[in-house]
Amino acid sequence: MSGPIPTPAQTAAQRLAYIDWMRGLACVLMFQTHAYDSWLSPAARKSAFFLWSQLGGTFPAPLFVFLAGVSFALVTERLRAKSVARNAVARATIRRGAEIFGLGLLFRVQEFALGYPSAPWTDLLRVDVLNIIGLSMMLMGVLCWVAAAAAPGALSLAGTAASVRLRNIFAALAAAALVALVTPPLWTTHRLRWLPWFLESYVNGVHIFKEPQPWLFPLFPWAAFAFAGLTAGFLLFSEYAKKRQAAVVAALGGAGILASLLSIFFDRAPVRLYAVYDYWHTSPNFFLMRCGLLLLILFLVYAWCRWGLALKGFSPIVQLGNTSLLVYWVHIEFVYGGFSILPKGKCSIAQASAGLLVIFLAMLALSLARTRLKKDRLMVFLARWKNSRAAVGSG
């Protein structure tokens, strides 16, 4: 870019481009992680290259869930700015969460159908990222509705915007902490074994196995990332932040560094709160570390967008971020599914890297086609609306 990110007087799309850039970055890291995981041979998977490449794989899922919380805050603030009553805000946001959850179920049906007859029927009930994003959005809708109802002087908009926003921030922060703190016992000493496995799986990711599986995405701890994103989102979209965005983002980056340091401090502390302590999977300390890294990424991406070249001209990263759900949905079939463009588990690093480039370019082309189609449909709609208005005026 030739200058800083546009001021609040300019369009919201320009001002919030760094959020789309983060979502696009998550897409690229997701492609890389899935491609190498699916295609590399056993020998290639033992290389240092593969081990380092998998570090990036720890970020896409937390980023997507975190950004779902940030986007949820943006949508809520925009609806309130239009004087939409809190009940209507809650209905709109919860309904959107239900739609995402439904898409997650549909995605599992598609995967089962394309993998039939080798795919087990239990995969239909496997907990995946879309399911948890949808459920987290519904929970955030309920949380914001309760927080707005409790605001002093609640009228049609549940009191002043500032008081509602402040309550939302504290409520979201408390919810994130609560989910993180109760995760270890729900995975170990206090598992809800009396639930059917497909329901318990939403709590701890047990699926059909005897023990919870860290590669699945249950509400605990993954919903905590959504509530953390909701907290950051309400801070970013406050009136104060709109006027001092760089300072607020820098403060969030500083909070990220502090959170990471606290994670290390608490992990090394001699006192243990849980009978079973697993830093890398269930520990609140690990959640604190990952939240710190997410906030640091937020700051670095903002700085790159403001002072770098990230948004100069066409940005493939932003383009992918604008259609992240579509490219997530489609690329899975060409990496893990029956339409995989390379033989799974048989490729060298060079072959898998070439396949990764093909996936990136194909998903970018798909994203551009989707954007163009959407724009064309909008232009057709506007033309028809204009013609109908002209017909009414001349009639």
CA triple 166-13-61, angle to 5 deg: 70
For the stretch 5-51, pLDDT in tens is 444 434 455 557 888 899 999 999 999 999 999 999 999 999 998 88
Q: Give CA–CA dist 345/297, Å, rounded.
A: 32
The pLDDT-based confidence of 380 (bands split at 50, 70, 90) is low
Cβ count near 190 (within 10 Å): 12
Q: Is 152 left (phi over 0), alpha (psi -120 to 50) or beta?
A: beta
Instruction: State what percent of residues in the chain have pLDDT above 90.
Output: 65
Residues 6+ apart with CB under 8 A from 9: none
Would you state the pLDDT for residue 51? Answer: 86
Q: Looking at this protein, which amino acid is placed at residue 142? A: V
What mean pLDDT, rounded, does the chain reach? 87
Which own/partner pairs from 341-347 qualify as long-range (CB within 8 Å, at least 24 positions apart)? 342/38, 342/39, 343/39, 344/38, 344/39, 345/38, 345/39, 345/40, 345/41, 345/42, 346/39, 346/41, 347/39, 347/40, 347/41, 347/44
- HSE-CB at 338 with a 13 A cutoff on CA atoms is 10
pLDDT bracket for residue 155 (50, 70, 90): very low
Are the beta carbons of 234 and 140 closer than 8 angstroms? no
pLDDT at 313 over 80: no
Percent of the chain with pLDDT over 70: 87
* Structure-block tokens of residue 325: 């759900």
Residue pair 285/279 in contact (Cβ under 8 Å)? The answer is yes
Which of the four pLDDT bands, split at 50, 70 and 90, describes residue 1? very low
Instruction: Give the contacts of 276 (CB within 8 A, at least 6 positions apart).
Output: 184, 187, 188, 189
Neighbours of 139 (CB within 10 A): 19
Query: pLDDT tens-digit profile of 140-150?
Result: 999 999 988 77
pLDDT given at position 309: 66
pTM: 0.89
| C-alpha–C-alpha distance, residues 289 and 281, integer Å | 12
pLDDT at 109: 93
- Model confidence at 108, pLDDT cuts 50, 70, 90, reads very high
Higher pLDDT, 156 or 87: 87
Residue 53's pLDDT band (cuts 50, 70, 90): confident
Helices (H) and strands (E) in the chain, counts: 16, 0
Q: What confidence tens digit (pLDDT) does each residue in 225-273 have?
A: 999 999 999 999 888 888 888 899 999 999 999 999 999 999 999 988 8
Contact between 67 and 26 (Cβ < 8 Å): yes
